[in-house]
Amino acid sequence: MEQPAPIIELRDICVRFQDGKRTVDAVKHVSLNVRKGEIFGIVGFSGAGKSTLVRTINLLERPSEGRVIISGRDVTDLRGKQLRELRRDIGMIFQGFNLIGNATVARNIAFALKAAGVPKQAREPRIRELLALVGLEDKADVYPSQLSGGQKQRVSIARALANNPQILLCDEATSALDLETTEGILSLLRRVNRELGVTVVFITHQLEVAQRIFDRVAVMESGRIVEHGPTFDVFRNPQETVTRGLIEQFLLSYRNVGALLSEETGEAA
Question: Residue 98 or residue 211: which is nearer to another protein going by CB?
Answer: 98
Contact between 35 and another protein (CB under 8 A)? no
In the complex, least distance from residue 59 CB atom to another protein, rounded to whole angstroms: 10
Question: Residue 3 or residue 145: which is nearer to another protein going by CB?
Answer: 145
In the complex, least distance from residue 92 CB atom to another protein, rounded to whole angstroms: 4
Question: Residue 34 or residue 162: which is nearer to another protein going by CB?
Answer: 162
Contact between 67 and another protein (CB under 8 A)? no
Question: Residue 196 or residue 226: which is nearer to another protein going by CB?
Answer: 196
Contact between 217 and another protein (CB under 8 A)? no
Contact between 47 and another protein (CB under 8 A)? no
Cβ atoms of residues 75 and 68 within 8 Å: yes
Report the phi/psi class of residue 37: left, alpha or beta, with left for phi > 0 and alpha for psi in -120 to 50: left
Question: Residue 94 or residue 250: which is nearer to another protein going by CB?
Answer: 94
Q: Which among 222, 190, 258 has a CA at the least distance from the CA of 25? A: 222
Contact between 16 and another protein (CB under 8 A)? no
User: DSSP E strands: which ranges in the chain?
Assistant: 8-19, 22-34, 39-43, 65-70, 73-74, 90-94, 167-171, 199-204, 216-221, 224-230
Amino acid at 151: Q
CA–CA separation, 218 and 10 (whole Å): 13
Question: Residue 92 or residue 201: which is nearer to another protein going by CB?
Answer: 92
Contact between 229 and another protein (CB under 8 A)? no
Contact between 58 and another protein (CB under 8 A)? yes
Task: Kindly tell me the sign of the dihedral angle through the C-alpha atoms of 195, 205, 183, 99.
Answer: negative
| Residue 222, phi then psi, degrees to nearest 5 | 45, 45
Tell me 138's DSSP state. G
Contact between 218 and another protein (CB under 8 A)? no
Tell me 7's DSSP state. S
Tell me 37's DSSP state. T
- All residues at 6 or more sequence positions from 227 whose CB lies less than 8 Å from its CB, including other chains: 218, 219, 234, 238, 239, 240, 243
The span of 37-45, 142-150, 173-181, 211-219 binding another protein (CB under 8 A) equals: 142-150
- Show contacts with another protein in window 71-130 (CB under 8 A): 83-88, 90-92, 94, 96, 98-103, 107, 111-112, 114-116
Question: Residue 60 or residue 226: which is nearer to another protein going by CB?
Answer: 60
* Helix, strand and coil percent figures for the chain, each rounded to 5: 45, 25, 30
Binding site for another protein (CB under 8 A): 58, 60, 83-88, 90-92, 94, 96, 98-103, 107, 111-112, 114-116, 143-145, 156, 159, 162-163, 169
